Structure 1
Amino acid sequence: MSLLLVTFQGFIMIETLSALFVTFVVSIATIKILLPLAPQIGLVDLPNARKKHDGAIPLIGGISIYTGVLIASTFFLEQSQLFNLYFISSALLVFIGTMDDIYDLKVAPRLIFQGLVATIMVFGAGIYIHDFGNIFMTGNVDIGSYGMLFTILACIACINAYNMIDGIDGLAGSMSIVTIASVAILTFLNDTTADLLLPMILIVATIPYLFYNVSTRNPRGKKIFMGDAGSMFIGLTVIWLLVVGTQETYIGKPSFNAVTALWIIAIPIMDMLAIMIRRVVNGDSPFKADNGHIHHLLLRIGMKSRKALWNISTLSIAFALIGILGEYKNVHESIMLIAFLCILSIYCLVSIFAWRFVEHKDRNLLASK
């Protein structure tokens, strides 16, 4: 019996390693194939007033991540309606993201496609956020079918949160790894027999992109960006994993509390809310693109891009660990929610006043010239 168990575990290990190897190879191969093609079809990012990089950078990172995940999942994951709908939704977002990378689409068509993808998750897959847990100490808050509308809005918000955070080398990729790894850890803590292959595939698929995006060993002239196709794919993946992880669905019971999800996506969500509030306060559209994100602030105060990446990633890991520890130690959901809202408020206030200080300093500098 023990020999059979060891043999079975060995088979699972070989299959897992094979899946991760295929993921890595496909992602690398996709980058190498698309590198010479991207400039020919206009799939490049050109420097402008908001983008200070040098030259035309291929926007192929997201396509490479999606392709690696798709191929490996097709061969190594058990096929189901849920997974099929996830990949159909992802394909739609990668398509519209690629079109946006090439033609710089307006906000409206992007939001329409994001809403369409959200409805596929809610009405096609039949999964949506409705149970928020005991966040008010009065019993579980369940909004029932109203959760369908809430999930559509949450899906659009999450997609755009990761799209907005993609502003310096490696940031969106790092944020996605922190969140996906946190989901895997929380799932494992709740069920040690859970299949964690998909999160592992997602993480491994991101590694080749990060090498070509941030590594100093990457050959000159072969730098790539993730592009809207990648950041929107990651945002959809994150919200999909969070819905499955926090809600009881036909595929299983929840692995962690809904409030914990806020902690493991803290930086993208807080940054999006802070900048949208700041834009509204300044009389601008909340969807107006600008250089007002947390990474822009750190760069403006003199921090190098690599150091800003490490600092933001470290903060993201710290928030995720708070969520994981709170879940593991059974800290009451209401306490976790209050703590998150307090940090969110502090984050928004610090962000707004920090930008006012920077802008005031710039005006004084101009006046003195």
Structure 2
Amino acid sequence: MMQGLIVLLLAALASAIVIRVMIDLAPRVGLIDHPGEHKQHEHVTPFVGGFGVLVALFVAVSALSTQYPGQRVAWASLLVCGGVMFLVGLADDRWKLGFRIRLVVQALLALLMVYGGGVALTDLGNMLFTGNVSLGMLAVPFTVFATIGGINALNMVDGIDGLVGTIAGGTLLLVALMTGLAGSGSTHLLAMALLGGAGGFLWFNMRHGRQHRARTFMGDNGSMTLGLLIVWLLASITQGESALVSPIAALWLFAIPLIDTLSVMGRRMWMGQSPFTPDRNHLHHLLQRAGFRVEDVVTTIGMLHFMLGGIGVMGLLWGIPEGVMFIAFLVVFASYLAITARPWRLVPTLRGIHRYLRLTPAANCGVFFGNCTLEHVEQINALVAPQLRENTAFRTRLYQQNEPDGKPGLRYAVVEIMLKDETAPLTHQVEYLRLIRKALHPHSGVYVRGYVHRDPFNDRRINPGEPAVEMRTRDRRQRKRVLLEESFTYVDRGRILDQDVHHQDAASEGPQRAPDTLIAEP
């Protein structure tokens, strides 16, 4: 255990140092990722995370060669597999290799893992209640297939800041704990080294403190290398006479990448597309479409992945039959596939969960004031401005909902705090909402919540043709929403520098859009 901790710290330190150096060198050698196509980021970012994984592998191989010199051929094969996968991924990041080239290289590396490293999938455990399912002559082809699948599964979930590192870190942490408690020295050292490499990468990739966006991406050079090494680890601990866990447990330890990738690829083929066609129907895309911020998406998926991995571990500890665990995994997969098959129905449900949890929306820091008793936007501005501690601006709109008979109804207001971009600190937004609620507390009857813009894509509330939508539409036509006042206010450290107030004609119907100059960034 002590050796594992030393390897973990050395790998994390080496990974962080190498990545920090490469962040500065990346623009000079063209290792930068540009926005565009199916990519969601808006900034030019280095893709040098794989350098951290590679240096962690060097630390692991050095420790393994020292502690277990009798298996140097296996460790050399491990180093060659990781190094070649890194170089191919780096070439793919730089020059966009075809997927056929990647698959051929991955298959060759899987063969090296089998014949050089002595790691192969020879049986699938007692998954059918008939005893261990031996693969026999199919062991090598199945190992190649599983290795390619694992590499690409992890690569395909690498879509937002911190996600792939969190998922890989969750799997590696569980493997490290199991191997450490079981006294499996070689696999424990490898797991701890890779965990350190992932940790060093996450320091630059996750959003934390004043780091509002990723300073580097994993890139194919990192995600494919890490995927290959995780497959090596899982195969090592599930096969042979000294296997620590059942092969079925490996499915649970790597659940999210497998389930999400198989579901997305199956949906693509069902729609007549190539399974390798990029799209935005992965789980993290659906959560973002529902308004979840990047930090919330990573936390949600990371917890789900760790929970599923924990189920696999607990199944082992409790002695649950492997066949039962396999059936349970299939049920989870089938349920996920059924839920995500129709994103246009899932996203509104996720959006409702987002509102129920009172999470801050991703697109803006909007605040909704229901049952507003304040009569002018200047009164609202005077309450909101002192809560904003940095130089910013916000737009305030005060509406009145008139009854069908023309009588004035309740008023409500919407305040949108203009942040520079989507990566503004989540802590700021949460704090804004809390302080605004506190400032409005003396005004009885007013309730405050986060505000989310209507999105015409995947929103049943504005999709025609559904009875519930038509009923709500008829109900709304009987009422008239009148925009009474609108203002745009500049603030510096809680002090109002300037505010431009527009009073609308009370006889006009419906909300009126402010001039473009009023909604521009300050």
> What TM-score do you get using the length of structure 1 for normalisation?
0.89
**Separation in 2, partners of 1:51, 1:362:** 26
Asked if structure 2 preserves the Cα contact closer than 8 Å seen for 1:259 and 1:337, the reply is yes
Displacement after TM superposition at 1:282 (Å) = 1.2
Tell me, what secondary structure is at the counterpart of 1:154?
Answer: helix
**Separation in 2, partners of 1:227, 1:95:** 11
Over 3 Å counting, the alpha-carbon distance change for 1:29 and 1:193 in structure 2 is closer
Matched, 1:146 2:138: yes
Moved more, 68-77 or 281-290: 68-77
State the structure with more CA Rg: 2
Specify the alignment match of 1:3 in structure 2.
none
Tell me, what secondary structure is at the counterpart of 2:121?
Answer: coil
Tell me, what secondary structure is at the counterpart of 2:36?
Answer: coil
**Separation in 1, partners of 2:56, 2:281:** 33
Asked if structure 1 preserves the Cα contact closer than 8 Å seen for 2:125 and 2:131, the reply is yes
Match of 1:299 among 263, 267, 288: 288
Moved more, 343-352 or 19-28: 19-28
Specify the alignment match of 1:239 in structure 2.
231
Specify the alignment match of 2:68 in structure 1.
78
Specify the alignment match of 1:4 in structure 2.
none
What is the 5 A alignment of 1:93-132?
93-132=85-124
Over 3 Å counting, the alpha-carbon distance change for 1:33 and 1:279 in structure 2 is same
Match of 1:264 among 253, 261, 271: 253
Specify the alignment match of 2:48 in structure 1.
60
**Separation in 2, partners of 1:162, 1:325:** 24
Matched, 1:325 2:314: yes
CA displacement 1:97-147 (0-9 Å, x = unmatched): 001111121211111111111111123223211211111111111011211
**Separation in 1, partners of 2:48, 2:184:** 35
Match of 2:300 among 311, 325, 328: 311
Specify the alignment match of 2:191 in structure 1.
199
**Separation in 1, partners of 2:230, 2:185:** 18
Amino acid at match of 1:333: E
Displacement after TM superposition at 1:245 (Å) = 0.7
Over 3 Å counting, the alpha-carbon distance change for 1:265 and 1:23 in structure 2 is same
The percentage of counterpart residues that share the same residue type is 34
Specify the alignment match of 1:28 in structure 2.
16
Matched, 1:46 2:38: no
Amino acid at match of 1:85: S
CA displacement 1:168-192 (0-9 Å, x = unmatched): 1111111111111222233345x34
Over 3 Å counting, the alpha-carbon distance change for 1:222 and 1:159 in structure 2 is closer
Asked if structure 1 preserves the Cα contact closer than 8 Å seen for 2:27 and 2:46, the reply is yes
Corresponding residue pairs, total = 352
Specify the alignment match of 2:209 in structure 1.
217
Displacement after TM superposition at 1:357 (Å) = 5.7
Moved more, 82-91 or 262-271: 82-91
Displacement after TM superposition at 1:220 (Å) = 7.1
Tell me, what secondary structure is at the counterpart of 1:132?
Answer: coil
Over 3 Å counting, the alpha-carbon distance change for 1:238 and 1:72 in structure 2 is closer
**Separation in 2, partners of 1:208, 1:218:** 17
Tell me, what secondary structure is at the counterpart of 1:255?
Answer: coil
Tell me, what secondary structure is at the counterpart of 2:130?
Answer: coil
**Separation in 2, partners of 1:18, 1:192:** 16
Asked if structure 2 preserves the Cα contact closer than 8 Å seen for 1:131 and 1:143, the reply is yes
Structure with a larger share of its residues in helix: 1
Listed as ranges, the gaps of 5+ residues in structure 2 are 348-456, 466-472, 474-522
Tell me, what secondary structure is at the counterpart of 1:134?
Answer: coil
Matched, 1:179 2:174: no
Matched, 1:278 2:270: no
Asked if structure 2 preserves the Cα contact closer than 8 Å seen for 1:187 and 1:256, the reply is no
Tell me, what secondary structure is at the counterpart of 1:350?
Answer: helix
Displacement after TM superposition at 1:65 (Å) = 2.0
Over 3 Å counting, the alpha-carbon distance change for 1:222 and 1:261 in structure 2 is closer
Asked if structure 1 preserves the Cα contact closer than 8 Å seen for 2:124 and 2:247, the reply is yes
**Separation in 2, partners of 1:126, 1:42:** 37
Structure with a larger share of its residues in strand: 2
Specify the alignment match of 1:170 in structure 2.
162
Listed as ranges, the gaps of 5+ residues in structure 1 are 1-11
Asked if structure 1 preserves the Cα contact closer than 8 Å seen for 2:60 and 2:190, the reply is no
Displacement after TM superposition at 1:17 (Å) = 4.6
Specify the alignment match of 1:253 in structure 2.
242
Q: CA RMSD in A?
A: 2.3
Tell me, what secondary structure is at the counterpart of 1:36?
Answer: helix
Amino acid at match of 2:260: D
Match of 1:229 among 201, 221, 231: 221
Specify the alignment match of 1:5 in structure 2.
none
**Separation in 2, partners of 1:280, 1:222:** 33
